[in-house]
Chain A
Amino acid sequence: MTKNKVYIVPCSGIGKAYGSVARESAFVVTEHLRPGRTAILALSRLVPDDSDARSDIRQAKSITIDGCKLSCAAKVVSETGGTVAHALQVLDVYRANKELKPAGISELNEDGKKLAVVIAEEVAALVDSMEENQNA
């Protein structure tokens, strides 16, 4: 992984729809909006002492997308030596888009998918601004 890529670290929660929204938004960013410039790093690789993952996260900036206020993604990235450039909360974006009520965990409903796209577009804009600042 090159140092210029931005890591997207989503929530790994399995009990709430907001965790699924966080993951879905990370997929949209890395596969469709900013492919090649962003990459997903699984949170579970950082918690045990996976030296490769920790080394990667320390060499790049990260955007975390958390599904609840426990903020596991932001906390774990920060505690393992990574730089959290931006810490997003699905709930905050949902509050600004109340018409998009996510439901379902295995399969998000349409509102959940739309909310994920809204978050993904926000993340993509943040990636752009980070790159602009880096090049300035």
Chain B
Amino acid sequence: MPELPRKKIGLVSCSGEETAEGTITRLATRNVLETLRPGDTVTICLPLFLAGGKEIVPSHDSTPRSQSMVAKNAVRRKEPSGTAPSRPLPLW
């Protein structure tokens, strides 16, 4: 029997940049993806999703890739958690 890929839960967080609540939803999504349920969840940028994009983000990945590469190389890595739900202050 061929092993079928596991179904994952998609998380779509608010993309509102002008309110702190939007930032909190993104932090919550990243926390689930990276720490709480890595491997079981994926996410996508809301505007990209609404515009019909298909770039699924499986985990922390700071390297720009094409859509097809993201889909094929869905490597999952953990990133240290514990970030505060607030905007980092400017450096100056």
Binding site for B on A (CB under 8 A): 10-19, 23-24, 26-28, 32, 39-48, 68-70, 72, 76, 91, 102-108, 110, 113-114, 117
- Contact A27 B26, beta carbon cutoff 8 Å: no
- Chain B residues numbered 18-32 whose CB sits less than 8 Å from any CB in chain A: 18, 22, 26-27, 29-31
Tell me whether B1 is interfacial, beta carbon within 8 Å.
Answer: no
Cβ distance A78 to chain B, nearest Cβ, rounded Å: 13
CA distance A26 to B70 in the complex (A): 26
Binding site for A on B (CB under 8 A): 13-18, 22, 26-27, 29-31, 34, 43-48, 50-51, 53, 55, 57, 60-64, 70, 79, 81, 83-84, 87-88, 90-92
Cβ distance B39 to chain A, nearest Cβ, rounded Å: 16
Q: Can you list 11 A-B pairs, Cβ within 8 angstroms, ordered by A?
A: A14-B13, A14-B26, A15-B43, A15-B55, A40-B18, A42-B17, A44-B15, A44-B50, A70-B53, A70-B55, A106-B79
The interface residues of chain A lying within 8 Å CB-to-CB of B79 are 104-106
Cβ distance A87 to chain B, nearest Cβ, rounded Å: 16
CA distance A107 to B80 in the complex (A): 10
- In the A-B complex, the 6 residue pairs with the smallest Cβ-Cβ separation, listed nearest first, are A15-B57, A44-B15, A17-B62, A12-B15, A47-B50, A107-B83
- Contact A41 B27, beta carbon cutoff 8 Å: no
- Contact B45 A12, beta carbon cutoff 8 Å: yes
Partner of B30, one of A14, A28, A91, A102: A14
Cβ distance A17 to chain B, nearest Cβ, rounded Å: 4
- Contact A105 B88, beta carbon cutoff 8 Å: no
Partner of A102, one of B48, B62, B92: B62
- Contact B46 A106, beta carbon cutoff 8 Å: no
CA distance A128 to B18 in the complex (A): 22
- Contact B16 A44, beta carbon cutoff 8 Å: yes
